[in-house]
Homo-oligomer: A and B are copies of this chain.
Amino acid sequence: MPPTNPSSPDLRHADAAEPRRRGSRKSAGGITLRDVAQLAGVAPITASRALNTPSAVSPKVLQKVREAVERTGYVPNLLAGGLASNKSRLVAVVVPTVIGPVFQEIVHTLTETLAAAGYQVMLGQSGYENSREDALLEAIIGRRPDGVVLTGIMRSAEARKRLLASGIPVVETWDLTPTPIDMLVGFSHENIGREVARYLHAAGRRVVAVVGGRDERSRRRMDAFAQEASALGMTANDAPVPMHHVTAPTTLGQGRKGLADLLQRQPQTDAIFCSSDLLALGVMIEAQSRGIRIPEQLALVGFGDLEFSRDLQPQLTTVRIDGTGIGQRAARFIIDRAAGIEVAERIVDIGFSIIQRESA
């Protein structure tokens, strides 16, 4: 039997003279809710309510608790709160990498929007390979986040299964699949490729080529583009559309090399679709240094609509994805789910737009 006196369980704080029992621990020393409550002359739970649901306590209590918080500099321990309430107020955001401009807008918007709703963002980088996905997933699930936003990743079926099993709300983005893990905010890479081909065809271009990243999504845009272009007869001598593949993340330098390569393979090329604006800028600079005029001799379409693209000379025609819109929708999905609101439509096609400028 433990040495505590069962007849007076409430006195355990009174008999301080008693030697420390085994297992007892000292606190980390910080101010706790208990301290605040004591100072305010209320029970801890009342102080908790004053902070979390102010409408549930009397104005008098509310003021006393707020004063106590002010005086002590109390900051609630969200780890403890999360454990007790089973709500961590944490959202994991996974991107291949934060380097490169592609996912910045989404990460930014998610961080902002979720912060405004009282959530924090935990950042995970999956890399462009699949190897680290498992470790990353373990780290994520271990935090018991209230949601996970996946941006163009989690290919492994095992990882998807574990995520699903964890019961954590998941929003996939940056792609469109009929069978998402849970929720989805994306767009069709295939449609983009097709539309760009049609756009260039309508602009009178007849011999097209491609500079594109090797990653899967980029490939799907490029392949759809090539297929549609072939169907529209935009190839030289019925040959397949020449493609210059580069390794992600894409760079300006790769764009320069890409143009050099493509011109050698197909000198009569009159239009190029690039899988990123950075590649397009490289093509543009290489063209300038070779005296090739854009768009007269060569039309150019990028992807991403980076901030600088409208300021280039010539201004870059490109495909715009509404990253802010994706971030906001994704955040809303998770906030709603946490509030118990079930969304009717779990798949949102955010679409894309071809921004017509001078280069094509």
Contacts and interface: CB of A to CB of B under 8 A. Distances in A.
A227 interface: no
Given A123-B123, A143-B120, A99 B104 contact: yes
Contacts of A166: 75
B142 A75 contact: yes
Contacts of A308: 251-253, 278, 281-282
Interface stretch (A81-89, A177-185, A212-220, A343-351): A81-89
Contacts of A97: 108
Given A142-B76, A256-B311, A28 B86 contact: yes
A2 interface: yes
Interface string A306-336: 0110111100000000000000000000000
A41 interface: no
Nearest to A310: B253
Interface in A65-124: 73, 75-80, 82-83, 86, 88, 90, 93, 97-101, 104-105, 107-108, 111-112, 115, 118, 120-124
A311 B101 contact: no
Interface of A: 1-2, 6-7, 9, 28, 73, 75-80, 82-83, 86, 88, 90, 93, 97-101, 104-105, 107-108, 111-112, 115, 118, 120-125, 135-136, 138-139, 141-144, 162, 165-166, 251-253, 256, 278, 281-282, 285, 288-289, 307-308, 310-313
A349 B247 CA distance: 34
Contacts of A1: 7, 9
Nearest to A286: B313
Q: This chain: how many copies in the complex?
A: 2
Given A9-B2, A121-B122, A122-B121, A141 B75 contact: yes
Contacts of A139: 115, 118, 120
Nearest to A256: B311
A78 B139 CA distance: 9
A308 to B, nearest CB: 4
A265 to B, nearest CB: 21
A2 to B, nearest CB: 7
Contacts of A2: 9
Contact of A78 (B7, B86, B135, B142): B142
Given A98-B98, A108-B99, A313-B288, A79 B143 contact: yes
B123 A251 contact: no
A76 B253 CA distance: 45
A99 B307 CA distance: 10
A164 B139 CA distance: 28
A144 B79 contact: yes
A136 B281 CA distance: 37
A348 to B, nearest CB: 23
The list of the 8 closest CB pairs from A to B, nearest first, reads A6-B6, A252-B308, A253-B311, A78-B142, A252-B311, A75-B141, A79-B83, A123-B123
A33 to B, nearest CB: 12
Contacts of A101: 101
A114 to B, nearest CB: 10
A121 to B, nearest CB: 5
